[in-house]
A = this chain, B = another copy of it.
Amino acid sequence: MMPLFGSLSTYTRADLRADTVAGVVTAILLVPQAMAFAVLAGLPPQIGLYASFLPPIVYAFLGTSRTLAVGPVSVSAIMVASALGAYAGNTEAYLGTTLVLTLEIGLIFILLAALRLGELANFLSHSVLSGFTTAAALLIIVNQVPALLGVPGVSGNTTTYTGIAAILNQRDALVWATALVGVAAMLLLLAGGRSPPALLRRSGLNSQWADVFGRTIPLLAVIATTAAVMIFDLDRRYGVATVGAVPGGLPSIHFMPLQFHLWLELLPSALAISLISYVESISLAKVLADRRRQRVDANQELLALGAANLASAFSSAMPVAGGFSRTAVNFAAGARTQIAGIITGLLIGASLLAFTPLFARMPKATLAAIIIVAAAKLIDIRTVVGTWRYQRSDAVILLLTITGVLALGIERGLILGVGLSLLSGVWRMSRPHIAVVGRVPGTNHFRNVLRYRVETWPELLFIRVDADFNFMNMRRIEEFVMARLLRQPQARHLVLICSAVNHIDSSALLELERLVIGLRADGVTVHFAEVKGPVLEGLQRVPVMRQALPGRIYMQAADAIAELAGAGEPVSEAKK
């Protein structure tokens, strides 16, 4: 239940040193990012800090990933903004509803862990996830451009169209000083992501450390722009919007009254956020665990993320998950165990106690720049191109998911994508690979007559179905058999080779029975070959099937030839 203790059983001084450094570096990244993501979710900036204090500590005790850094993340932040759009303007209600949403997400995680249903995440295909993330990133950018340029913008908007329209309608309201600060911060961040690591590396710094240093650029941007505001009085003289007084102190624990209708109303959003958060976190945790030959337990992760979200809800904060950029920093900075996460959490707690007065004159445009640069990294054109090259149908689903999120809103877009990818899976499942096979001369092997030179017999038809028989594909199997028999009217025996059949469902069984009876009336006897043990046991449980089956069940398809072909000579076929 507490994977942390496993990590601590062999804990050394060197481990503590590495974890401390990583924890500090991650905290430096996390402070501005957490505030920015809270603003993205439509919340006051300190909420992001609250979500970065207790949740990573709770996760550290329960999570199996040693390096996953938990806190507010951009995609779920925009999902929160979209879910709570109706409450925008009423700060009290907005905050209260965020807590209910976070609590609900935590409970969903724990319920899924209890039911061991982590596998549900398997139904989110990579195409849908990639399309969803790209579209969410575009939404995030559109959502933050107003703050970057000092334009009022629309809160709680959920489609790109309304977002872009709002920006264009209010372009006259642009505050030049804000735009200047915002663009400067963005340029610093963009440059920081590239040149300094390269520069530092050339100056002899270890490349890993150069990378880590590059990640502290957000804090530098915050310090530089806040200093500029203070020195030049940009807020009072030029109207640059700042964060304003950030209440200090640790979060107080809240208890919420139970409002059933609100819980029900938020349920779809909570499910969508849980699904995305879980899949992102577990994928990230697995990639990192693979690199260090560690194992991640999917169910335990659900439990840990659930507990982290409950901790977030009880500290008046927002939904949390494993975040990509900060986990990468934590890993690159050398985190060895969950202790690094505990150190990060404690440092955020300390900053809440000591540093919040410093945030008051931080320009909002800097936070917008941090969000935009983080979101831009989520736009994944490579996957679109790669998927298009490899498989058109998946690429179409990916593009439809993007379009759906941008045009219909974030949750409906996700539902559209998941629905389409499941349908395409079902559609493919309904079209099994079926082959007429013949014997490779001189062997007992059977191969596709279209691909190999094999022997066949006019009165015998061997068909191999490379799929389980189920209600979705049985009609196609039947049609294939009937079409092939029409082309081989001398056939008197049909041998169904079931080497790839692991299961026959009850609908398929009835259709199969009907097929066997129908063909018998037509003078064709149906036999089976290479039926696997469990399938055979299933068939024998059904009295009707035992009676309906006039043919035999052969261990090997080749056994059927001696018995059924009689004196018939094989025909050597060479089709292509």
A residues within 8 Å of B by Cβ?
119, 121-127, 287, 290-291, 293, 295, 386-387, 389-391, 394-395, 421-422, 425-426, 428-430, 433, 451, 466, 468, 470-476, 482, 500, 502-503, 505-507, 509-511, 514, 518, 521-522, 533, 538, 541-542, 544
Q: Which residues of B contact A433 (CB under 8 A)?
A: 502
> Is B426 a contact partner of A533 (Cβ separation < 8 A)?
no
Among B389, B472, B510, B541, point to the contact of A122 (Cβ < 8 A).
B472
**Chain B, residue nearest A124 (CB):** B471
Which residue of the partner chain, among B386, B421, B422, B521, contacts A291 with CB atoms under 8 Å?
B521
Given contacts A538-B390, A541-B389, A542-B386, contact A126 B425 (CB under 8 A): no
Instruction: List, in ascending order, chain B residues with CB within 8 A of A470's CB.
Output: 425, 428
Q: Find the B residue at minimum CB distance from A518.
A: B290
Instruction: Contacts A394-B506, A433-B502 known; list 20 others, CB within 8 Å.
Output: A121-B475, A122-B472, A122-B474, A125-B505, A126-B510, A290-B518, A290-B521, A386-B506, A386-B544, A390-B541, A391-B506, A394-B507, A395-B506, A421-B471, A422-B426, A425-B426, A425-B472, A429-B429, A451-B533, A466-B502
Interfacial chain B residues near A428, Cβ < 8 Å: 468, 470, 503, 505
A468 CA to B467 CA, complexed, in Å: 9
Query: B471 contacts A506, CB within 8 Å?
Result: no
- Which listed residue (B122, B287, B507) contacts A471, Cβ 8 A? B122
Nearest B residue to A471, CB-CB? B125
Are A473's CB and B507's CB within 8 A?
Answer: no
Q: List 18 A-B contacts (CB under 8 A).
A: A119-B475, A122-B473, A122-B475, A122-B476, A125-B505, A127-B507, A287-B514, A290-B521, A291-B518, A391-B538, A394-B506, A421-B471, A422-B422, A425-B426, A425-B470, A425-B471, A466-B500, A466-B502
Nearest-neighbour CB distance to chain B for A386, whole angstroms, equals: 7
Closest B-chain residue to A282, C-beta based? Answer: B475
Determine the chain B residues whose CB is within 8 A of the CB of A509 once the complex forms: 390
Report the Cα distance A429→B473, complex, angstroms: 13
Q: Which residues of B contact A541 (CB under 8 A)?
A: 389-390
Taking CB atoms, residues of chain B closer than 8 Å to A475 are: 119, 121-122
Partner of A426, one of B123, B295, B395, B521: B123
Give Cα A429 to B123, complex, Å: 11
Among the listed B293, B426, B521, which residue makes an inter-chain contact with A522, where contact means beta carbons less than 8 Å apart? B293
The contact of A505 among B121, B123, B293, B394, by CB within 8 Å, is B394
